[in-house]
Structure 1
Amino acid sequence: MVAQAFTVDLNKPLVFQVGHLGDAYQEWVHQPIVSKEGPRFFESEFWEFLTRTAWWVIPIIWLPVVCWSITTSIHRRLSIPQAALCVGFGIFVWTLVEYTLHRFLFHIKTCSYWGNTMHYLLHGCHHKHPMDGLRLVFPPAAAAILCIPFWGLLRLLSTHSTSPALFGGGLLGYVMYDVTHYYLHHGQPSKEVARNLKRYHLNHHFRVQTKGFGITSSLWDRVFATLPPSKITDKR
């Protein structure tokens, strides 16, 4: 007797349902529902609240940390040009981190219950509901936890004076990434560069989901030959 395939009920909280899809999860999660209304994740109001973040929260919380980090390096006798160089290098490194996380972690193949569940929370929900405006940026509480090992690594690999500026640059790169990501989904760019970036990203969602892993830039897609085909479709 063949077991009946599991069906997700979109009218109920989704997080603890999607794991039951098993091998069918990958196909299900990459069939987007283009609606600005986000699904409910949890029964608990507390956990549901933690999954929703307005885009403007990101710069409000993190830009002061960026400024503090850069001024800390200057107070530690780093010159302004040197601090600017560290910030620029931090932003550059972030673009590689952004690409690497998106390609190798956010698009990992899962089929187990908890694998599907964690993937849905991390990135699958964004592909299933790409226009959900309150789940386009990373929740600050989770980002703060992830900052700890990155700060520790920078302190280990760099000097006492340069590590804060490098951290500030990487964090600034992250802020640019998150607000750009929101804009690519909900903004209506008038400049050609921004329009091309929007088409490039929406192509990843709606046409070739195995390519186009950059968000703020297509640089690393060009370097690692994961650039989507030149003929792309702008679907809203």
Structure 2
Amino acid sequence: MVAQSFTVDLNKPLVFQVGHLEEEYQEWVHQPIVSKEGPRFFENDILEFLTLTHWWVVPLIWLPVVCWFVSKSVWMGYTAPQIFLLMVSGIFVWTLLEYTLHRFLFHIETKTYWGNTLHYLLHGCHHKHPMDGLRLVFPPAATAILLVPFWNFARLISTPSTCPALFGGGLLGYVMYDVTHYYLHHGQPTSEVPRSMKKYHLNHHFRIQDKGFGITSSLWDKVFGTLPKSKAAKKSL
């Protein structure tokens, strides 16, 4: 007797359902539902509230933190050009971290109950409901947790006096990433560069989900060979 596949009930909280999909989870989560109304995650109202974040919360909370860290390096005597260079370096480091997290953590393949559940919370929900505006940016608590290893990494590759500005630049890069990500899903760009960025990212969601991991830049996709081929190029093969 063949076991019947588990079916997710979209009218009920999803988080503790998706794990039951086991090996079918990867196929299910990459079949997007295009609706601005997101699903309910948890039965508990407090847990549900913690999963919802307006885009403007990201700059509101983290830009003052960026300023505080950068000011620490200013107090240590660094000039404006030196601070600028450190911040640009931090942003550059963030772009690599952005790519690495998206490719190797957010797109890790899972098939166990808890593996699927954690993946859905981390990134799977975004691929299943890509237009859910309240779950497009990272909740502040999750960001704070991720900042701990990033701070330690910044300390490892810099000095005590340059670390704050480098870290501040990296944090600024994160803010730019999150608000850009939101805009690429919900904005209506009219100029060429943001229009191309939007097309590039939505291509990752709706056409080739195992390519195009960069959000703010396609640089690392080019470096590591994950740049998706254009439709025209595919037709000519």
Tell me, in whole angstroms, the C-alpha distance in 1 between the residues paired with 2:152 and 2:95.
20
Residue 145 of structure 2 corresponds to 145
The separation in 2 between residues aligned to 1:121 and 1:164, in whole angstroms, is 31
Structure 2 alignment gaps of length 5 or more: 233-237
2:185 & 2:154 partners in 1: Cα distance? 32
**Deviation at 1:161?**
1.1
Which residue number in structure 1 is paired with residue 186 of structure 2?
186
User: For this pair of structures, how many residues does the alignment match?
Assistant: 232
Task: Specify the code of the residue in structure 1 equivalent to 2:83.
Answer: A
Offset at 1:85? 0.5
Aligned partner of 1:8 in structure 2 is 8
Instruction: Find the residue that maps to 2:134 and give its secondary structure.
Output: coil
* Amino acid of the structure 2 residue aligned with 1:144: A
Match of 2:103? 103
SS of corresponding position for 2:133: coil
| 1:176 maps onto 2:176 in alignment | yes
Structure 2 counterpart of 1:160, one-letter code: P
Residue matched to 1:69: 69
2:130 aligned with 1:130: yes
Match of 1:214 in 2: 214
Shift of 1:152: 2.5
1:150 Cα deviation from its structure 2 partner: 1.8
Within 2, Cα distance between the matches of 1:209 and 1:69? 36
Q: How does 1:7-26 map to 2 (within 5 A)?
A: 7-26=7-26
**Superposed structure 1 runs of 4+ greater than 4 Å apart:** none
**Residue 230 (structure 1) shift:** 1.9
Decide which moves more: 147-156 or 200-209.
147-156
Q: Does 1:91 align with 2:91?
A: yes
- Deviation per CA, 1:96-155: give whole Å up to 9, x if none: 000010011100000000000000000000000000000000000111122122213322
| Sequence identity percentage | 76
Give, in whole Å, the separation in 1 of the partners of 2:156 and 2:218: 30
Letter in 1 for 2:68: W
Sort the Cα spacing of 1:153 and 1:224 in 2 relative to 1 into closer, same or farther, 3 A. Answer: closer
What RMSD, in angstroms, separates the aligned Cα atoms of the two structures?
0.9
Task: Give the aligned partner of residue 167 of structure 1.
Answer: 167
For 1:115, what is the secondary structure of its paired residue?
A: helix
Query: 1:156 & 1:221 partners in 2: Cα distance?
Result: 26
Instruction: Provide the residue aligned with 2:80 in structure 1.
Output: 80
Q: CA deviation at 1:231?
A: 2.7
- For residue 81 of structure 1, report the CA deviation from its aligned partner: 1.0
Secondary structure class of the residue paired with 1:138 = coil
Shift, 1:188, TM fit: 0.1
Q: TM-score scaled to structure 1, two decimals?
A: 0.96
Instruction: Give TM-score, length-normalised by structure 2.
Output: 0.96
Question: 1:38: how far off?
Answer: 0.4
Q: Deviations over 1:10-34 (max 9, x none)?
A: 0000000000000000000000000
Alignment deviations for residues 51-106 of structure 1 (CA, whole Å, 9 cap, x no partner): 00000000000000111111110101122111111100000010000001001110
In structure 2, give the amino acid aligned to 1:30: H
- SS of the aligned residue for 2:231 comes to coil
